[in-house]
Amino acid sequence: MALMKLKLQRIPNVLGIYGASKNQFPARMSLLRPDAAAAFEAVQSLIGQRLRVSDMYRTPAESLTAMQTKRGVQPPGYSAHNFGLAIDIDTDSMLAALKVTKPVLDTTMQSKGWYCHRKDGQRGMEDWHYNYLGDDAGKWLASASATSTSGAIEAKIAALHPDDFAVTATEAQEMLKQMGLYSGAIDGAFGAVSIAALKNFQVSVRLPTTGQLDAKTQRTLAVASCTLDITESQGAAAV
């Protein structure tokens, strides 16, 4: 079975909001897809200073934790953070440091492929969240709503992972076994033991406890069991 593999690149010297100094950022979160990582560093070069970041890569488990403490957080497998394609910035800090308005900040970010969740350029909910749509953003923005770029990033994720979210019964058994939820045979026969294991998984990720291998459960399983291929940044350290 070929598990989903996610290629990520570690970004050095990320300016965060954590720690006693309020400028630290966990190394475990300092990850983006290689193209998004390059675009992140390109923004920093453009503005001549580091972006202050509150969130970047999230594991599925971290998405569950974030759901408990933040508003608007998507479940595991349905956040661009789980794919290394999103960042949350400290908007107040960046606007003050750059002495610009939110629309100007958005335009600057867009020049390097980063698009705010909000399309109206206003302050408020999710004005801190930016999705990486890249140089071909126009193709993905065709799927965006009038108010949000969430549809655009979802279209990009689907294009990047065309086959990864289709999980067979045999693959599901193997994934559940790796998670320590299933100890039966890997035979694709989805009987009572397999169903019980799948229900336990659904409970753990806050999906409806149906025991059915529906599309949402398949996608969440795939993301929760994916392997990470992490490389260190070869670029210059952040400014």
pLDDT at 71: 65
Sign of the alpha-carbon dihedral angle for 222, 225, 227, 228: positive
Q: What is the DSSP letter of 126?
A: T
Band (62; pLDDT cuts 50, 70, 90): confident
* pLDDT for position 238: 43
Rounded CA gap, 18 and 142, in Å? 36
The position carrying tokens 């336990």 is 200
Checking if the pLDDT of 68 tops 80, the result is no
SS3 109: helix
AA letter at 27 = A
**Mean pLDDT score across all residues of the chain:** 93
Residue 153: pLDDT band (50, 70, 90) is very high
Beta-strand pair 53-55/227-232: unpaired
What pLDDT, on a 0 to 100 scale, did the predictor assign at position 51?
Answer: 98
The span from the CA of 37 to the CA of 30, in Å, is: 9
Q: Which two tokens stand for residue 134?
A: 């890249």
Instruction: Report the alpha-carbon angle 79-115-24, nearest 5.
Output: 70
Please write the tens of the pLDDT for every residue from 188-239: 999 999 999 999 999 999 899 999 999 999 999 999 999 999 998 765 444 5
Give percent of the chain with pLDDT exceeding 70. 95
pLDDT at position 237 is 47
Spell out the domains of the chain, with CATH numbers in brackets: 5-162+227-232 (3.30.1380.10), 169-212 (no CATH)
pLDDT band, very low/low/confident/very high, at 66 (cuts 50, 70, 90): confident
Q: 53, 69, 85, 40: which is closest to 223 by C-alpha?
A: 85
pLDDT given at position 79: 93
Residue 180 clears pLDDT 60, i.e. is over it: yes
- Are 37 and 73 in contact, with CB atoms under 8 Å apart? no
| Closest to 57 measured CA to CA, from 33, 31, 18 | 31
Among the residue ranges 71-80, 114-123, 228-237, the one predicted with the least confidence is 228-237
The DSSP string of 42-110 is: HHHHHHTSPPBEEE----HHHHHHHHHHSSSPPPTTSSGGGGT-EEEE-HHHHHHHHT--HHHHHHHHH
Q: Rounded CA gap, 217 and 8, in Å?
A: 24
